[in-house]
Amino acid sequence: MRRRFFTDRFDSKSAIVRGDTAEHLGRVLRAEPGQLYELSDGERVWLARIESVKSSKRSGHQIEFALVEEIAEQEAALRIQLLISLVKFDRFEWCLEKATELGVTEIVVLAAERTDKPLLAAVAKRRARWEKILLESAQQSRRLRPPILRTASEETGKGKAGGVIRPKEAFAQNDAACKLVLSERRDAKLIRDALSVYADPSASLAIGPEGGWTDDELACARAGGFAEASLGQNVLRTETAVIAALAILGFTLGD
C-alpha cells in the first residue's frame, strides 16, 4: 500500500510538496524521481510520480510531482466531534494522534474547571505542534484530510478576541445527532446502551479532565442535550477513554 501525503493544492497536472513533509520524504524515505506516492489536497486524491527532489538552505526541501491518475476516495459517513478537556501535554498529544487514526473529524480543546491553569496558558504556543501531529497522523492513516482543531472560542466581547473554550459554550452550541458526555457517576448508562437509540451518522463525544467534570459542567451538558455515558466500573485515564469510546462509536454508528 502506497504512502499518502498532503499538498496545498493541485495545479493542472502537477503538485509540489514543501516543508516538513518534503524533508521527511527526502531525508527519511530517500525520495527520488520516478517513485509513486498518493497526494491529497483535502478534497481529492491523486496517484503522483516524483519529477524532482530539491533542497537548499534558503528554500528548504521541495519535491515536485506529476499527477498520474485520480484515485476515487469516499470519506466516511460518520462525523465525530471530540470535545476533550486539556490534560498533561504528553498524554494529550497521544490522544490527538490516536483520535485522528480513529477517524475524528473535529477536535475541540476544552478549558474545564479542573483543568490545570498552567496548561491553558501554553495552548497558543502548542497549537502549531498539535496541528503537525494531526497532519502526520492523518497521512499515516491515509485519511483524506486531517481533523479540524479548535483551541479558542469564536465568541468575542468588548473588542477582544475569544479566549479558551469552556464546556458550557461547547455543549450549548453542539448540533450532533448523538451527544455523549463520559461520566463516572454510578447512574450513567453504559455507552453501548446510550448508543442504542441513535442512527444518524454524526456524534459528539465529551471527555473530561483529570479529576472529572464538576456538577455544574454535567448540568450544562444535560441542558445541551448530552447523555451521560459510562465505559464501565473502572476509572480510565483520559487517553484510554479516548481510544475505547471512539472505537465503540465507530463500530456502533459507522459504516
28: domain CATH number? 2.40.240.20
Q: Which pLDDT score, from 0 to 100, does residue 211 have?
A: 87
Mean pLDDT score across all residues of the chain: 90
pLDDT: is 59 or 170 the higher one?
170
The Cα–Cα gap between 10 and 144 comes to: 14
Partner residues linked to 4 by β-bridges: 38
Q: How many domains does the chain have?
A: 2
Q: Are residue 39 and residue 95 in the same domain, yes or no?
A: no
Domain boundary, last residue among 71, 97, 114:
71
This prediction's pTM: 0.89
Q: Are residue 139 and residue 200 in the same domain, yes or no?
A: yes
Domain range for 88: 79-253
Q: Are residue 33 and residue 101 in the same domain, yes or no?
A: no
Q: Are residue 195 and residue 127 in the same domain, yes or no?
A: yes
How would you classify residue 144: left for phi > 0, otherwise alpha for psi between -120 and 50, otherwise beta?
Answer: alpha
The sheet with strand 10-11 has its strands ordered as: 4-6, 36-40, 45-56, 60-71, 14-18, 10-11
Grid-cell match 485520480, residue found: 70
Q: Are residue 63 and residue 115 in the same domain, yes or no?
A: no
Label residue 198 by pLDDT band (50, 70, 90).
low
Q: Are residue 24 and residue 104 in the same domain, yes or no?
A: no
Q: Assess whether pLDDT exceeds 90 at residue 190.
A: no
Q: Are residue 210 and residue 238 in the same domain, yes or no?
A: yes
Q: Are residue 137 and residue 219 in the same domain, yes or no?
A: yes
- Note the pLDDT tens digit of each residue in 149-165: 999 986 544 433 457 89
247: domain CATH number? 3.40.1280.10
Q: Are residue 108 and residue 153 in the same domain, yes or no?
A: yes
Cβ-Cβ contacts under 8 Å for 39 (sequence gap 6 or more): 4, 5, 6, 7, 10, 15, 17, 45, 46, 48, 65, 67
